[in-house]
Homo-oligomer: A and B are copies of this chain.
Amino acid sequence: MTIDTDPAEAARQARAEQRSAQLLEAAARLMDRDGPESVSMQSLATEAGVSVGLIYRYFGGKDELLLAVILNVLDAFGTEVPRAMDEAGEDPVHRLAAGLRALCEVIDDQRYAVVLTYRATKQLSAEGRHRIMELELSTMEPLREALRAGRDSGVLDVVDVDLEAYNLLLLAHSWALKHWYYERRYTPAEFTTAQTAIALRALVPPRHRRKYAALLATAATQ
């Protein structure tokens, strides 16, 4: 099965990957400046400094492009969340908090792409939609895992792991979804801290609260 080793082919692949990244970057920049509805093939081409036709070489069409943008975010979740959680050590509560923070950071970074996830369902093929669902679920797996671990060791009071994991994801998504409201009241960091406190307050039973006081506190605490 060693079909590789063709240097020309390898070079092509490398270039393709670079182009693809360039286009995704441009899409992000464009959405960030003009909102997600401005992602037309023309404006994307202009933003990326290439011609429309070229986009079709690297992405089959708009559908595939949007799918790629979305998968890109989900991929960032899949990378950043576990990394942050592992850095946080073994404690399930700290792991959870770290995961939520990472989630919020990626979302802040890719705000419009996250919103796109909710908007683009229309143009996506059934298969694309399915991939997104699968990926979203597997993205959340580390959070679910931490919830389970915390429940098993008694530091977390979890009733329904799946539901509560999804709630955490939505808590973070809300930064993108309701940004028009939150941006007036919180910085990204404040938002993250406050939501972490709220989420953990729901999960950490009283007897363990002292231990996690730092995570449970907010600037606004009375």
A interface, CB within 8 angstroms of B: 35-37, 115, 118-119, 121-122, 133, 137, 157, 159-160, 162-164, 166-167, 170-171, 174, 177-178, 180-181, 185, 194-195, 197-199, 201-203, 206, 218, 220-222
Extra inter-chain contacts (8) besides given A160-B194, A170-B174, A202-B202, CB under 8 Å: A36-B122, A37-B122, A115-B118, A118-B177, A159-B218, A166-B181, A167-B195, A198-B202
User: Do the beta carbons of B119 and A159 come within 8 Å of each other?
Assistant: no
What secondary structure prevails in chain A residues at the interface with B?
helix
Known contacts A133-B180, A180-B133, A194-B159; decide if A174 and B164 are in contact (CB<8 Å).
Answer: no
User: Do the beta carbons of B167 and A221 come within 8 Å of each other?
Assistant: no
User: Do the beta carbons of A218 and B160 come within 8 Å of each other?
Assistant: yes
Taken together as a complex, chains A and B put the C-alpha atoms of A167 and B37 apart, in Å, by 26
User: Do the beta carbons of A166 and B178 come within 8 Å of each other?
Assistant: yes
Taken together as a complex, chains A and B put the C-alpha atoms of A199 and B170 apart, in Å, by 14
**Chain B residues with CB below 8 A from A157, complex form:** 201
In the assembled complex, the CB of A166 is this many whole angstroms from the nearest CB of chain B, namely 6
Taken together as a complex, chains A and B put the C-alpha atoms of A170 and B203 apart, in Å, by 18
A-B interface, 7 closest residue pairs, ranked by CB to CB distance from nearest: A202-B202, A37-B122, A206-B206, A118-B118, A119-B119, A170-B174, A160-B220
> From A157, which residue of chain B is reached at the shortest CB distance?
B201
User: Do the beta carbons of A167 and B198 come within 8 Å of each other?
Assistant: yes
User: Do the beta carbons of A198 and B162 come within 8 Å of each other?
Assistant: no
**Chain B residues with CB below 8 A from A160, complex form:** 194, 198, 218, 220
